[in-house]
Structure 1
Amino acid sequence: MIRRLVPLSRRLAGALVINGLLFLSWPTGAAEDPGRRDAALEEAIGTADARGRRAEAVELSRELVALRTGVLGADATATLAARLTLSIMLEQAGETTEARALRDAAFDRLAEVDPERLPPILNNTAIALQNTGHPDSAVPVFDRLVAVMAGAGESVPLAITHFNLAALHRDRRDYDAAIAEGRIAAEMFERLEGPDAEDTIVAIGALGQTYGMAGRPAAALPHLREAWTRAGQALGPSDETMRQANNLAAVLRDLGRHDEAEPLDRAALDWRRANLGPAHGATLISARNLALDLIGLDRAEEAAGLYDQVVETLARTRGPDHPETRRIARERDMIAVLTGAAPSGDPGDLAALEAQLTAGTVDADAVYLANRLAGIAERRGEPAAELRLHRLSLDLAERHFGPLHPVAISMATNVARAERALKTAEATPAYSRLEERLRLWARREYASTSDQAVIEQVAATTRETLGDILSYGYAAGRSDPRAIALVARVMLNWKAPGSLERALLDRAAAELPAADRALVAEIRNLTAQSLRPGADRQAIERRLDLAEAALADRVSGLRRLQAQQALDYGEILSAFRPGDAVLDYMTVPMRMAPDRVEERILVMLGRAGGEIRLFDLGPVAAVSELMADSGAAAEEDTRRRLYDQLIRPVMSELDGVDRLTVVPDGLLTLVPFDVLVDQAGWPLIAGLDLRIARSGRALAGGDHDMPQDTDRNGVLLVGDVDYGGTASPLPFTAAEIDGIAATARAGGIPPVVLRGQDARAGAVRRAAAGQRVLHFATHGFFEPLHPGADDPLDRAGVLLAAGDGDDGRLTAAELATWPLDGIDLVVLSACDTAEGDRSYAEGLAGLPSALATAGVRRSLLARWPVSDRGAARFMARFYDHLAAGESYETAFRATKLDVLEGRLAGVPEETWAAFTLIAN
């Protein structure tokens, strides 16, 4: 098995722990004959305990207490140690109540008569209880030890104690407590011994392992990577460095990232072979781990060779009938059958193995064995046995890992697929439970980290399962209304789960206790610090990671947030008027054949009264090819072909619809739906009131035409910016903001105008507070992916005033941290502001997701480059319509129709068609 937690080598010195028993040497100078009797009793107690003779061990321990009481006195430290040994024997015999009372009394007396010896005796008593299988009884002993030691201030022994207590809680599967203690230990070691000390590295790695065991890879990976990196830098190629590589690879493998795990495990195997020898236990672990990586990479023959080496070594060193040899051989044979590296023979009596699993110990091996047995049943064509074994593997996984662990979710997916294959009545409920389980797990992960790469990995991991759920819903929806409702729930909850999760956490923050609100404030402050020029991002992000993980621990159940997400699509559709409809798109990987997964476009059509229909629009690749070139969507021919792909298949279902909301996803967010060209050669907006929403939630309550917010009464206008020579001036932006300011004043709305050198990021942020509308007339940018800037939120933004060390770049990452909650509208009258990287976590990562995360109700952005003059004229007319009392949505469409129907000249098609209004 992989060594999942590495205990520190040092323990507090004190009473001697032998075979799980606590002894204290006979005092020097005491009577010799009683001393021989004392030693004989100690040996007899150890023998009786080792042979399981519990009653005899208790009686012998009572004799030891009586002997020491008579010779040394009741308050002698050795006598009190004997009472503690007796308490352990009573625990072994099931007399827990007497054992704990005896232990507490002994500790109380020790605190009075020998306080210096109390800490080591507490420590070793806890260890003895833990080693003899009584972790629940060990916890209060460790807690007492922490309380005693903390009075003397921070120390390395106190850090060790917190570390050991974390290990104990981990063994008890109380992961929240283990994480809390592990975090204390890691931080204390770092303060006392430095960031590169081996204790610090081990503690950070152990904290990451605990997160991984708790099924929280988003929080685990940063710690594990940090421990591995520090070990490599501080310790070089060493046993500890290889152990950290091994542990990091284990979590990557759990996430299915075998390509990243493989080089880590290969390096560990090579080093261990050379330095520890081919037969060393750690070497064999690395060989098995590498074999599992290779299986995940479809390199079954290489994996089989490694398994053969491990089995041969075990047979030679431990014997062919040793349980470990037989276990690994059985695992090898099963995997060989499943991967096709061996004929579909019988690797053993499956029924007998299943019976052993049902009655045996629940551990990780039992889970994986049940899963492999199910795979063999599938290959044999025994679907009933396969379903039964998948159910067993899920039950075992829930009992061992917990319900919100990637392994348990994987087993739940297998159960749902098997129910579907057999067309049982439980198929839809199984998929519904899977979706809820997946949602709770992903929500916790998004709340645990700000590492964009980890967030994207979590989202990509969930998206493949969502494809399976939607594939089932699409097939079963014709006959099962529950399956349709399941699809609708996926559409509602999974379009941009990262942003939605953060918005919900922010909304819930007001209801949190003061300590948790302080954590939210700390997270926001650290995020802002990390984005400042010259900031020590590594140090800040370390603190940020800990703060976010702490907040996620506090709300680990997240049930309150789930209640906030319980909105049903049927409720949304019930508020529609007869002419309303929504087209909700989602791109998901779907299994089209046993060996072929293809990303496809599904769309859900919803109409008034709750009517829902589903359509499969084919592979995403067809749209990707049309939009492969930057700006391709601006071309009329492309917009015609996109109409044929995305709208025409459902057009016959839109009879009587005059107001259509489109909810795009991923790549489709870049599609200009309102100006797609229909068969008659007209843009859709000419005949349909077509709107864009980030989620179906934006339509909740029938707010298709949300009125302007009367509680806010201001407009902030930013333009005519002095770029300090970093960009070319935009002369028409001056007229743009001046004209809008005049319109606002005439309507009784006081404008705030920032221009020239006054248009700096700090001044803009301060002036934004309390405004109804923010309008930026400036340059926008979205840079292609390049080394050193892989976060799309760092590569998208707008330009503001530059100078005095400020480069003038306001990035999406910075904008996402601004407190813009409740602002009606942000207009970015700038090129490429609706651009972004396709993201499973954010829909489209860039300025659109940044504004949504910041709390803006709707955003008006440009999908591609726009004309300076044309944009100014378009925006002036848009605000004229707003001044006339029209809603934002109506005013936006009316402005486009003014251009289309000849009432507004001087706005090129590539400019007015570029703008999109997105409801968040």
Structure 2
Amino acid sequence: MTIALGFARVRRAAASLGIVLAFGTVLTGPVDSAAAQDSRARRAPAQGANSVPTVTAQLKNAIALTRSGKIDEGFAQLNAALDATDRLDDAQFAMGQYFEATATLRAVKRDDLAEKLFVCAFQSKAAAQSTPGKADLLLMYAILVSDHARIAEAVPLYMKAIAAFNAYWGEGSEVSLIANDKLAVALSANGSAASATNLGWHNFVLAEKALGPNHRTTWKLANNYADMLREIGAPAKALELDLFAIEGRAKHYGENHLNTLVTVNNAGQDFLALGRFDDARRYFRRHRAIATALAPKDPTFAGQADAWLFYTDMLEAGDTAISPADLERLEAIVANEENFADFLRIKAAVLAAGKREARGERDKGMRLREIALAIATRAFTAQHPISFEIKLGIATALIAVDPNRAVQNFTALDREMFDWMKREVGTAGDRAVAEAIRAQADHLLFAFGRFATGAGSAVAQPAFAAAVLRWKTLGGGDATALRRFETELADKDAETAALVRTALRLNGEKQELFSSGNIDDWARSVWQRQDAAEKALAKRLDAIGVKLPQDPIRPAQLLAAQEAVVNYFITRQWKADRQSKEPLAATVLYAIVETATSEPRVVDLGDPGKTVDTGVRTEIARLRTTRATVPDLDAREHVDKSSDTRALDTKGRFQSLHARLFAPLEAMLKDKTTLYVVPDGFLFAVPFSLLPGGDGGLLEDKFTIRLLTSPDALIAIHAREKIDKTGAMLLAGGIEYGVPGPMQLPATRTEIEAIAKLARARGAPVVMLTGSGVSEAALREAIGKVRIAHLATHGFYHDSTASGLDTLWQSGIVLSGAGDSRWPLRDDKDGYLYAFELMDWDLSGLDLLVLSACETGRGDESFVSGLRGLPTALGIAGARRALLTLWPVADEGTANFTVRFYEHLAEGLTYSDALRQTRRDARDGKVAGAKDASVWAAFVLFEG
């Protein structure tokens, strides 16, 4: 954390004193040089009782009286002088006098009286005019309000002040940037980490452009932005900024300057958080050397350096016991509020707590953790990453002494963090914050999962299962209630049901955009539309007198006796440096099994890297490269036909996967016939239809396996699960691509014509798009009017790691006119429909979307939904079901497979049963070109 003057004040109090000093030299400077000088030039040299010299003298006397400790008398004289000031015809001068008066009251710690003067100032005659002085005063008032944790009141004041500064001096001016920085610091101090870091980044980038990298304010903003990043647990990014600021400040101010010392200390903290202890000591020693030179100004600076050096030694000791003297010294740092910064006191308290607990002194350890939480709550608010980390430590410490209280603490922290996440990611959206939230949530769930499968499993398992359900859907109770409500309304109130679907769809899109850090004008437009949709829904519900169901719903409540849900979930423990090549310290895969008659049971399946072993990953990788039929981003078409006849040894290659994923669950599933499987992470890439069963056959011969993208999908799992025989159908195939461009797929025309024949035979209207007519505009218009859409074309997926592009811009399908150039952008005429674009479509009227194309079921691991790619986009857009492929598939085999699938649908089978039967037909050689498992196992039906 940035070191305050004296190194000891509570964050908000320290900020107040710093503001008073800074504004006297920074903000009033530009005002005095421009608007204020012009005002003086026009001011008549009036004399007498109401003259400027007389009023100025009155104010100086009142200020002197106030600073001497005669507060009440001084305040009365301040009021009198300011009343006289307002009678002068000089608004800029009047606002300046109010500025000095309020700064004086803040300096003597009478914010109550200062606020009264602020209120009077904005009710005065002078406030009716727009002046630079009024902007200064607005900013000072905003700082006071935010210092008292009234951030909702403060933000509008900040915004008015910033708008005025922008109008007078320009958006990139030094005063405007400083005002924005004060807002960012206030937001951070009040727990609004996402808004703060987003604004901090914006300020720093703008300062580099407007002021240049060698400007003192640019270094200041870099320092403060780094401070915010460090607080949310992003020390690697903070370090880059701190080193930049150190270089500039040391050259400009000199090595032995307070500004240099502050940033040197911050860099030491960055290194410490990254576990680079020697580098941390090097910077804390540099801090010590600067502090020695500055000792005449403040002798406590050196003590701060010594305390950080000592803490570094104690932290590096790890689990090694420390001496009683060292433990007492740690606790002395915690107790010394006057001389040590809050951040150091918090760190020392947590470390000392662990040492006390290791000695069996659990009561003393808990007391230290509670002290750390009290400091963090006062300095950062209760809903802040630093406070969350302490609360997690408290919950974990309780496991050994009181498992029931530990469950209560874990549950309370889970809900608190979830609500904070929804507020932060859903309103500001900064990539660094999204990563920090992911790490915070992962660390909570990692510890919670260990607890649930350890000594406290009996009491912790249901609570952990509920937490996983919340984080895996990222919708919380409100989204679940909306899904339930929409299902209940579907055939009763079409208008309200449509509003519910729109609100759900836009909320999902907003969460995906903001949690991934894609914050641009498009994301903000989605946010505005989502807000409008929620208001429209609220208005409708109020008009019809309906309230959303409030009681939570568990998967078990939606299951029949013969059904079970298997919800896989990966917990992660991150290293401090999340930007490193190997950022994860540990991962654990859990299976949460629920049935209609039992509490959730949590099974620890171990390291997912070992669960999905090298043999399975190698086989999946081979399948992804065997039958590629779509060009990659940089190369022409190439097809490896040498492996077309290679059969899969399912029993050999996937036997270990069955043993690790299903064998530990068999006792819980012995009387079940239908399994709803919710994958996570890499498991989305696993072809569950290839998993062997325990009897020598395949697992899907024993169970009907239905893949869900989210546990919430169970709410409407049986809605419209058979084909509407007269429902309209959209078929697109035989597409003409550009020249040069992707390889033509002649069998796709045959494929859609065969499906069209089946549809017409049952009386269903058919919309056909072929040749050059399959544009984004034509497809989007047609798809909103049908129940089933079948698109036979090229699909593509590329790992986002190499390019750095968002996964949703790296997956999609190919349409008419597509050429070689495929740089992702929002363009409905480029011939490429990206998942990012598709996510914004309204597909809520579709019962089924079939993408008869390559690799449409792939994606990257996602914090939001377990997978990012076309499955994510389609689910957000509202499609009930999507038939996709996990790897490239042969043109002819695909066509025959999908035609057989529709034949079974026409017979009255459900969508899931039709796919299961089609796979059996293919395995039995009844579908030409599809007997090889590389064809039939590629198809997956994602529901939800």
* Cα RMSD (Å): 4.6
Render the CA deviation track for 1:720-762: whole Å, top value 9, x for unaligned: 1111232111112112222222322333332222211111011
Render the CA deviation track for 1:382-430: whole Å, top value 9, x for unaligned: 3321111112222332343223211111111111111123345411111
Listed as ranges, the matches of 1:178-197 within 5 Å are 178-183=154-159, 185-186=161-162, 193-197=169-173
Listed as ranges, the matches of 1:347-746 within 5 Å are 348=328, 367-378=346-357, 382-449=361-428, 455-476=434-455, 478-480=457-459, 483-497=460-474, 540=521, 568=552, 571-589=554-572, 597-622=585-610, 623=612, 625-629=614-618, 631-632=620-621, 634=623, 635=648, 636=650, 637-700=652-715, 703=717, 706-708=720-722, 713-725=727-739, 726-746=741-761
Query: What is the number of residues matched between the two proteins?
Result: 843
Structure 2 partner of 1:219: 195
**Shift of residue 857 of structure 1?**
1.8
SS at match of 2:256: coil
Distance 1:374 1:281 in 2: 32
1:730 partner letter:
L
Q: 1:265 aligns with which of 225, 242, 260?
A: 242
Per mean C-alpha deviation after superposition, the further-off stretch among 428-437 and 297-306 is 297-306
Distance 1:713 1:742 in 2: 14
**Shift of residue 568 of structure 1?**
4.9
**Shift of residue 131 of structure 1?**
4.4
**Shift of residue 519 of structure 1?**
15
Render the CA deviation track for 1:243-265: whole Å, top value 9, x for unaligned: 12212222221232222222221
**Shift of residue 861 of structure 1?**
0.8
2:810 partner letter:
R
Contact 1:576-1:609 within 8 A present in 2 as well: no
Structure 1 partner of 2:642: none
Distance 1:842 1:237 in 2: 43
Listed as ranges, the matches of 1:14-53 within 5 Å are 29-30=47-48, 45-53=62-70
1:209 aligns with 2:185: yes
**Shift of residue 587 of structure 1?**
1.0
2:454 partner letter:
A
Q: 1:80 aligns with which of 67, 78, 83?
A: 83
Q: 1:785 aligns with which of 796, 800, 825?
A: 800
Distance 1:610 1:337 in 2: 47
Contact 2:508-2:876 within 8 A present in 1 as well: no
Question: Where does structure 2 lack aligned partners over 5 or more consecutive residues?
Answer: 5-14, 33-42, 487-494, 542-546, 576-582, 624-647, 820-826
Render the CA deviation track for 1:193-226: whole Å, top value 9, x for unaligned: 5554334443444444344333343333333223
Distance 1:856 1:499 in 2: 20
Per mean C-alpha deviation after superposition, the further-off stretch among 668-677 and 453-462 is 453-462
Q: 2:274 aligns with which of 263, 279, 297?
A: 297
SS at match of 1:421: coil
Listed as ranges, the matches of 1:93-104 within 5 Å are none
Structure 1 partner of 2:326: 346
**Shift of residue 674 of structure 1?**
2.6
Structure 2 partner of 1:899: 922
Listed as ranges, the matches of 1:809-828 within 5 Å are 809-828=832-851
Contact 2:884-2:940 within 8 A present in 1 as well: yes
Question: Where does structure 1 lack aligned partners over 5 or more consecutive residues?
Answer: 15-24, 66-77, 83-106, 529-536
Structure 2 partner of 1:239: 216
**Shift of residue 439 of structure 1?**
1.0
Contact 1:583-1:604 within 8 A present in 2 as well: yes
Contact 1:404-1:441 within 8 A present in 2 as well: yes
Distance 1:488 1:793 in 2: 29
Residues 238 and 337 of structure 1, relative CA distance in 2, 3 Å threshold: same
SS at match of 1:586: strand
**Shift of residue 640 of structure 1?**
2.5
Render the CA deviation track for 1:470-496: whole Å, top value 9, x for unaligned: 11112145432xx12112112312225
Per mean C-alpha deviation after superposition, the further-off stretch among 283-292 and 235-244 is 235-244
Structure 2 partner of 1:771: 786
Structure 2 partner of 1:88: none
State the structure with bigger RCO (CA 8 A, min sep 6), 1 or 2. 2
Contact 1:675-1:913 within 8 A present in 2 as well: yes
Distance 1:133 1:446 in 2: 36
Render the CA deviation track for 1:638-678: whole Å, top value 9, x for unaligned: 32332222112222332111111111101111111132123
1:846 aligns with 2:869: yes
Structure 2 partner of 1:91: none
1:800 aligns with 2:815: yes
Structure 2 partner of 1:870: 893
2:213 partner letter:
G
**Shift of residue 554 of structure 1?**
11
Structure 2 partner of 1:837: 860
Per mean C-alpha deviation after superposition, the further-off stretch among 218-227 and 518-527 is 518-527
Render the CA deviation track for 1:415-450: whole Å, top value 9, x for unaligned: 111112334541111111111112112222331356
Contact 1:602-1:615 within 8 A present in 2 as well: yes
TM-score w.r.t. the length of structure 1 is 0.80
Distance 1:545 1:301 in 2: 47
Listed as ranges, the matches of 1:167-182 within 5 Å are 167-182=143-158
Distance 2:357 2:207 in 1: 44
2:782 partner letter:
A
Contact 2:509-2:839 within 8 A present in 1 as well: no
Contact 2:67-2:108 within 8 A present in 1 as well: no
Per mean C-alpha deviation after superposition, the further-off stretch among 270-279 and 802-811 is 802-811
Residues 380 and 44 of structure 1, relative CA distance in 2, 3 Å threshold: farther
2:392 partner letter:
T
Structure 2 partner of 1:317: 294
Render the CA deviation track for 1:134-192: whole Å, top value 9, x for unaligned: 55665676577668899989876665555444433322222233344444555665566
2:27 partner letter:
R
